[in-house]
């Protein structure tokens, strides 16, 4: 089906094309100078000590588990209202995902009270996912982690440049992980970034990213080294210079793009705020947000009603989505199931509406009219 108003719009133009052509003409297309430049720019943007470009966010999360020393049988508290990769990374190392509930319809992030209630002697770490680029209550979560000597991993895939009390998301916990998938705020097609302020963590991550080798091909090609040793059982989780060059072009656009998204969200809140029967999560959020997506939750609703509303919006040419099906209800996680009433309700009654910098006010008004008419 073709949509009059798509869910998102890729922010690509001649800048990305030129960046790729420059890399192709350089004849160095694997991990090299553009990857290093991208990492340095990303770290500076966040005010972080270190950033390491990855093949995608999922492998960044996997390395984060290894860096947190999560092993077979260790418990890791995580959200269920997230993309499945957040939980999968725990299973990659043999850890046990312990799903915690969200705060509620107006705050789709992990509830610190439920986090603390689920800590046991086996708990090793907490994974937070900053939903939509809106921060979890990191003061309370970091306090809980310190009290129980736990590592904190930030799944900040939704939140480049998002803030919490003046700090960028991804720099507050022990490790931060970002996604550059095609529909993210920064898009390289596939790609991710691991961020940390700890030099030892960074050096170990760098080894694990590339087969545990002590030097990279680019370093040897430039004469910085002539040989290498293998000192860790590593992986091939590298980003290439083609994607890194696209990432650099995207970084140059990011701040302006996010400022426009702030305006889009305000137009949404002004228009949809008058509709009875919906909650707009994170209204009056006090910090800067990337506004990766725009979710609404139907009140006093059912999954069947939500699906009907989505179908009607689709007929009107409006593309929607659901972020996300609850992970703890997937078949592969049946052995780790736990009741999460607030997550369950939101997963059944949430609709993700279109969100991108170029979304016009008349488009938002059309979405408002269509949604209001359907709900009535």
Q: What is the DSSP string of 116-128?
A: HHT--TTEEEEEE
Q: Is the pLDDT of residue 225 over 90?
A: no
pLDDT tens per residue across span 60-118: 999 999 999 999 999 999 999 999 999 999 999 999 999 999 999 999 999 999 999 99
Structural domains in the chain, sorted by start: 14-101+108-250 (3.40.640.10), 255-375 (3.90.1150.10)
pLDDT tens per residue across span 151-191: 999 999 999 999 999 999 999 999 999 999 999 999 999 99
Residue 1: per-residue pLDDT: 61
Q: Is the pLDDT of residue 264 over 70?
A: yes
Residue 217: per-residue pLDDT: 74
pLDDT tens per residue across span 108-132: 999 999 999 999 999 999 999 999 9
List Cβ neighbours of 127 (8 Å cut-off, separation of 6 or more): 61, 76, 77, 78, 79, 86, 89, 90, 152, 153, 154, 155
Confidence of residue 2 (pLDDT cuts 50, 70, 90): confident
Name the nearest CA neighbour of 356 among 243, 253, 247: 253
Stretch 276-304: mean pLDDT:
97
Confidence of residue 284 (pLDDT cuts 50, 70, 90): very high
Q: What is the pTM of this model?
A: 0.96
């Amino acid at each position: 089906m073709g949509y009059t108003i798509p869910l998102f719009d890729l922010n690509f133009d001649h800048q990305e094309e030129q960046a790729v052509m420059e890399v192709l003409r350089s004849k160095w297309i694997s991990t090299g100078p553009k990857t290093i430049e991208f990492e340095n720019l990303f770290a500076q943007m966040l005010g972080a000590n270190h950033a390491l470009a990855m093949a995608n966010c999922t492998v960044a999360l996997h390395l984060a588990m290894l860096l947190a020393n999560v092993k077979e049988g260790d418990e890791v508290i995580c959200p269920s209202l997230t993309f499945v990769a957040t939980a999968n990374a725990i299973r990659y190392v043999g850890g046990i995902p312990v799903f915690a509930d969200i705060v509620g319809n107006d705050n789709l992030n992990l509830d610190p009270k439920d986090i603390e209630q689920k800590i046991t002697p086996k708990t090793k770490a907490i994974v937070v996912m900053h939903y939509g680029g809106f921060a979890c209550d990191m003061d309370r979560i970091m306090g809980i982690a310190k009290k129980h000597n736990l590592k904190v991993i930030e799944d900040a895939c939704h939140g480049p440049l998002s803030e919490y009390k003046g700090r960028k998301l991804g720099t507050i916990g022990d490790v931060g992980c970002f996604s550059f998938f095609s529909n993210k705020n920064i898009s390289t097609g596939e790609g991710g970034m691991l961020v940390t302020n700890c030099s030892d963590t960074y050096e170990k991550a760098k080894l694990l990213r590339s087969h545990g080798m002590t030097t990279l091909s680019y370093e040897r090609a430039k004469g910085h080294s002539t040989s290498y040793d293998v000192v860790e059982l590593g992986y091939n989780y590298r980003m290439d210079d083609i994607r890194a060059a696209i990432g650099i072009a995207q970084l140059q656009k990011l701040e302006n793009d996010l400022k426009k998204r702030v305006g889009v969200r305000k137009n949404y809140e002004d228009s949809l705020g008058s509709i009875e029967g919906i909650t707009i999560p994170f209204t009056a959020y006090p910090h800067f947000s990337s506004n990766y997506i725009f979710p609404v939750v139907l009140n006093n609703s059912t999954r069947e009603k939500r699906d009907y509303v989505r179908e009607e919006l689709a007929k009107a040419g409006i593309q929607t989505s659901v972020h996300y099906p609850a992970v703890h209800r997937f078949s592969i996680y049946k052995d780790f199931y736990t009741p999460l009433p607030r997550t369950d309700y939101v997963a059944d009654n949430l609709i993700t509406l279109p969100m991108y910098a170029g979304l016009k006010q008349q488009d938002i008004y059309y979405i408002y009219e269509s949604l209001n008419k359907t709900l009535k």
